[in-house]
Amino acid sequence: MKIGATYLGNNECQFRVWSPLLKEVAVEIVSPNKRLLPMTKDDKGYWTVKAKDIPPDTLYWYQLEGEKTRPDPASNFQPKGVHEPSQVIDHSAYLWEDEDWTGIPFQEWIIYELHVGTFTPEGTFEAIISRLPDLKELGINVIEIMPVAQFPGARNWGYDGVYPYAVQNSYGGVNGLKKLVDACHQQGLAIILDVVYNHLGPEGNYVSEFAPFFTLTYNTPWGTAVNFDDAHSYGVRNFVIENALYWLKEFHFDGLRLDAIHAIYDLGAKHILAEIVEAVEVFSQQQGRPFYLIAESDLNDVRVINPQELGGHGMTAQWSDDFHHCVHTLVTQESLGYYQDFGSCQQLAKVLREGFAYTWNYSPSRRRYHGSYGGDRPPYQMVVCIQNHDQVGNRMLGERLTHLTSFDALKLAATTLILSPFTPLLFMGEEYGEDAPFLYFIDHSDPHLIEAVRKGRKEEFLEFHAEGEPPDADSIETFKRSTLNWEKRKEGNHKVLWDYYRELIQLRRQIPALYQREQYNSKISCVEEQKIICYYRWSDKSEVICLFNFHSEKMNYSLVIPNGNWEKRIDSSETKWNGKGAELPDYLNQSQTLTLLPYTAVLYEKKL
């Protein structure tokens, strides 16, 4: 059931809001022509009124029980922030120019995650457009933007959004977002949106005054859980399903990334994720092209991506945090918090074979068994990274890998990511070794809430034994420090790393053995003591060998190769990549002992 303010044309608008337990709801038109519009309730608790003399941009909110007024839970725009009236939007007014866009097959995706507010100095949707050609030249073909649902103030990661349908006003609003999506499609780039269905932010969160949107049955890290399986949950489920379709239909997004689905609790016979998948599949059929859904999950549960006929939810893909944690611990030697579960090359080799390191084996940090086997799913269904907003921004000082390891190790980590069979995700600035931190920042108006955030952040770092005070999340300086220094990509090691990423992405696309991501066509050997992984991949007419040395010292490795002539395609230790100088031969034609420099990666391709 479509909810919110739906502009019908000719200054006519339909208002619909779900409030099953209230006895009186009305629309209060704030401007122009202030007036009150009584609403009629149906048997499922939806209040509706159709009214004339409602031009686009009309400001309104709902009057509840003849007393208090609140913005629309399904507001499309909050021009004056989270506490003020909602605005009627005419989505048909925008003239799209992407009618020839047919999308990019998911198996080909290379995702670039960015935060709108810190990606450019302007911090707007339209400011991103001028940087799209650079990203395309790098080899990126999918942009993932962090959440843009209206949050309090002008700066936030986006996970404190309280109006899931409203585009953040400080980023440029509805038309600014549509212009960005349109520009992406015109330049051959797909674009997806990060959406949050596991909680709403604390400030401006009025939905519980309308209906039972939350349940006390479960708790999440952010408070009470969203009500997906308790009494009256049908209206909450519809709210979320309609939201997913709204972003795909009205904003032409190619897909959605669903935040932290492990905090979405639903014990009903049909999980809400499966119902979202079904709705999106119907929409895909109507549009004649696929739309994709990616789940962020720390459960290592293959049911998330298993087809529904196999008892799964049927999501297109899910994140594998194990890949990040394996690479991170190997190049930084960190072992605190959840990193205590990782640190061996054997684990990374297992991830490359099966998608997860924990497949129902004991997790020391969790103090329980964890995960399931993912090796029978196509590897492209695992989205992996070596940095993202969480793994950087949830550190007390927001350090990127640039701050935590050597330049050689950065190149090694990048090679492991891009040459993997999985779907790679880069975090903005990673491609040139950005050295500005990515910190946590907010712009709340409630001083008690601000203090609670400060306290909570400090407690969060106790597990990692962090000392000192976290940067003040409410300070505008914290926000400004997180803005990219984009021009650095043209100088020194920054340019070298950018060129190295571009070369890796080209190899990933050009070599059939790397392009094959439908199945695990690979053999992986690992020598733990030497911290070396040998990764052999093949397709029908192509074979490659990747060697990774995660040791801080030079190591000898006895390489056994299949018959044939093998040509070196990339070597991170070459001087062109600001390495110490290649010591490996350009060609191989027999099994031999090779000497690998510290933190290096090399790729050989069999010549036909």
SS3 string, 371-392, reads CCCCCCCCHHHEEECCCCHHHH
- Residue 250 structure tokens: 């009205």
Residue 326 contacts by C-beta under 8 Å, 6 or more apart in sequence? 342, 347, 348, 351, 357
User: Annotation-wise, does 259 bind a ligand?
Assistant: yes
User: Annotation-wise, does 181 bind a ligand?
Assistant: no
Long-range contact pairs involving 517-521 (C-beta distance under 8 Å, separation at least 24): 517/107, 517/378, 517/379, 517/380, 517/421, 517/422, 517/423, 518/107, 518/378, 518/380, 519/378, 519/379, 520/353, 520/354, 520/375, 520/379, 520/421
Number of helices followed by number of strands (H, E) in the chain: 15, 31
- Distance between CA atoms of residues 536 and 524, nearest Å: 6
Q: What is the dihedral of CA 277, 282, 284, 287, to 10 degrees?
A: -160
User: Annotation-wise, does 257 bind a ligand?
Assistant: yes
User: Annotation-wise, does 262 bind a ligand?
Assistant: yes
Amino acid at 434: E
Which residue, chain included where needed, has tokens 């070298």? 496
Amino acid at 553: E
- Distance between CA atoms of residues 600 and 578, nearest Å: 12
User: Annotation-wise, does 392 bind a ligand?
Assistant: yes
User: Annotation-wise, does 190 bind a ligand?
Assistant: no
User: Annotation-wise, does 387 bind a ligand?
Assistant: no
- Distance between CA atoms of residues 282 and 106, nearest Å: 18
User: Annotation-wise, does 239 bind a ligand?
Assistant: no
User: Annotation-wise, does 408 bind a ligand?
Assistant: no
- Distance between CA atoms of residues 358 and 364, nearest Å: 11
User: Annotation-wise, does 51 bind a ligand?
Assistant: no
The CB density around residue 607, as the number of other CB atoms within 10 Å, is 11
- Distance between CA atoms of residues 245 and 238, nearest Å: 11
User: Annotation-wise, does 324 bind a ligand?
Assistant: yes
User: Annotation-wise, does 271 bind a ligand?
Assistant: no
Burial of 283 (0-12, 13-18, 19+ CB in 10 A): middle
User: Annotation-wise, does 474 bind a ligand?
Assistant: no
- Distance between CA atoms of residues 96 and 106, nearest Å: 23
User: Annotation-wise, does 391 bind a ligand?
Assistant: yes
User: Annotation-wise, does 254 bind a ligand?
Assistant: no
Long-range contact pairs involving 66-71 (C-beta distance under 8 Å, separation at least 24): 66/24, 66/26, 68/209, 69/28, 70/206, 70/209, 70/210, 71/163, 71/204, 71/206
User: Annotation-wise, does 207 bind a ligand?
Assistant: no
Residue 130 contacts by C-beta under 8 Å, 6 or more apart in sequence? none
The CB density around residue 81, as the number of other CB atoms within 10 Å, is 17
User: Annotation-wise, does 17 bind a ligand?
Assistant: no
Within 13 Å, how many C-alpha atoms sit on residue 356's CB side? 22
Catalytic positions are 259, 296
Annotated binding residues for substrate: 257-262, 321-325, 389-394
Annotated binding residues: 257-262, 321-325, 389-394
